[in-house]
Amino acid sequence: MEMKIICGLHLMSRMHGRKKENPILLPAVNEKFLNVVGLMNQKKNLFHEILEIKFNTYKFICFMNNFIKQTVKKTVVILGKSPIQKSKKFIAKIKEWIGCSDVLIYFLPAYSPELNLIEILWKKIKYQWIPFNAYLCFKNLKKRLKYLLNNIGISILTIT
């Protein structure tokens, strides 16, 4: 459900399986976050948001509220079992949404990312569609990511 990209480098030196007394740390100058949250149907239509802040239950609830507002027919949402999706606050919202919308929410079995279309998409984006050089500059990474997310299902950006 969520893809997290952290632009920056952290390197800690290890020797013989033990931490060295003086680890080498190379933090990014301005560590920034790109959190992508999304829902995708079997026709590869993607509803997503890109957040440049740390992701939490509140942000996921806001995302789901936005999704539910735009639904026009009965919709089934299948989620993984991330800590955010299993939090007490989120579970309480599910009960509220079921009572006032045509959205039904179900959960996949634990440890089954191969059944989750969005996890397959995140993997393709991170390891196939974003070139390595895009990670060198946060602005370029953000631009490339927006392009990919807005063009899912078009030309070469297909998920099989």
With a CB cutoff of 8 Å and minimum separation 6, the contacts of 151 are 157
The closest alpha carbon to 85, from 118, 104, 107, 67, belongs to 107
158, part of any domain: no
Q: Which domain holds residue 119?
A: 2-150
Number of structural domains the chain divides into? 1
pLDDT score recorded for residue 160: 55
Q: Give the CATH number of the domain where residue 65 resides.
A: 3.30.420
pLDDT score recorded for residue 7: 37
135 band by pLDDT with thresholds 50, 70 and 90:
confident
Averaged pLDDT of the chain = 78
103, part of any domain: yes
pLDDT score recorded for residue 67: 93
pLDDT score recorded for residue 94: 92
pLDDT digits (tens, 9 = 90+) for 64-116: 999 999 988 889 999 988 889 889 999 999 989 988 888 999 998 877 777 88
**Residue ranges of E strands in 73-127:** 75-79, 103-107
Enter the tokens of residue 155. Answer: 């030309």
155, part of any domain: no
Q: How far apart are CA 117 and CA 5, in angstroms?
A: 19
Mean pLDDT confidence for 39-46 = 85
92, part of any domain: yes
11, part of any domain: yes
pLDDT score recorded for residue 30: 62
Q: How far apart are CA 99 and CA 110, in angstroms?
A: 26
Q: Could you tell me the sign of the dihedral formed by the alpha carbons of 6, 10, 16, 18, in that order?
A: negative
With a CB cutoff of 8 Å and minimum separation 6, the contacts of 124 are 159
pLDDT score recorded for residue 21: 56
pLDDT > 90 in the chain, percent:
22
**Residue ranges of E strands in the chain:** 2-7, 14-15, 18-19, 32-40, 46-51, 75-79, 103-107
- Under 8 Å between Cβ of 75 and 102: yes
pLDDT score recorded for residue 117: 83
156, part of any domain: no
Mean pLDDT confidence for 140-160 = 78
